[in-house]
């Protein structure tokens, strides 16, 4: 099986697992962590161009595992984190990573946020090195070994 087939298969597997878990995780911290992760993925190369932002927002709205939240609420949170990253990338990155880090005491929710990052990063068929590094940093923020996700 080729790399892209493996990535697609892994993404589908993660998405299936998330759909069963996220209904249990319907809380503000999980929603914030998820949208912080998505914004970090959108900005993984150090900037967020409008097309990337729109594409990521569309992926969020279409993601089955996030349907437990209202789309407007998710969009507002995602835009807020994107605006922070665009305004001052380094400060925005620290703030978004800290938001994800709040899930450290909730390992199942933390893993779900990491999985969302992988799904969003790989949705275009190219989970690039910047996106992988971003997900690794999120793993460290929540105390999860990146090797658990083959990173």
pLDDT (tens digit, 9 = 90+) per residue, 111-134?
989 988 998 888 777 888 999 999
Domain-wise residue ranges, the chain: 3-149
Q: Taking the complete model, does pTM exceed 0.85, yes or no?
A: no
Token duo for residue 46: 């150090």
- pLDDT at position 22, please? 54
- pLDDT at position 94, please? 96
Question: Exposed/middle/buried for 137, CB within 10 Å: 0-12, 13-18, 19+?
Answer: middle
Residues 43, 52: Cα–Cα separation, whole Å: 8
- Topology of domain 3-149 in CATH is TerB-like (1.10.3680)
HEC secondary structure over 40-57 = HHHCCCCCCCHHHHHHHH
- pLDDT at position 14, please? 57
Left, alpha or beta for 66 (phi > 0: left; psi -120 to 50: alpha)?
alpha
- pLDDT at position 52, please? 79
- pLDDT at position 81, please? 96
- pLDDT at position 18, please? 54
Regions of the chain short of the pLDDT cut 50: 1, 3, 7
């Amino acid at each position: 099986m080729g790399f892209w087939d493996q990535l697609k298969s892994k993404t589908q597997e993660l998405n299936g697992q998330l759909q069963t878990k996220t209904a249990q995780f319907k809380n503000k911290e999980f929603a914030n962590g998820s949208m912080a992760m998505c914004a970090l993925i959108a900005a993984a190369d150090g900037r967020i161009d409008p097309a990337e932002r729109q594409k990521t927002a569309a992926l969020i709205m279409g993601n089955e595992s996030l349907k437990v939240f209202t789309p407007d609420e998710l969009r507002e949170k995602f835009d807020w984190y994107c605006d922070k990253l665009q305004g001052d990338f380094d400060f925005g990155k620290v703030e978004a990573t800290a938001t994800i880090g709040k899930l450290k005491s909730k390992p199942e929710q933390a893993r779900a946020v990491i999985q969302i990052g992988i799904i969003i990063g790989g949705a275009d068929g190219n989970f690039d090195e910047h996106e992988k590094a971003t997900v690794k940093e999120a793993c460290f923020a929540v105390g999860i070994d990146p090797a658990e996700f083959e990173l």
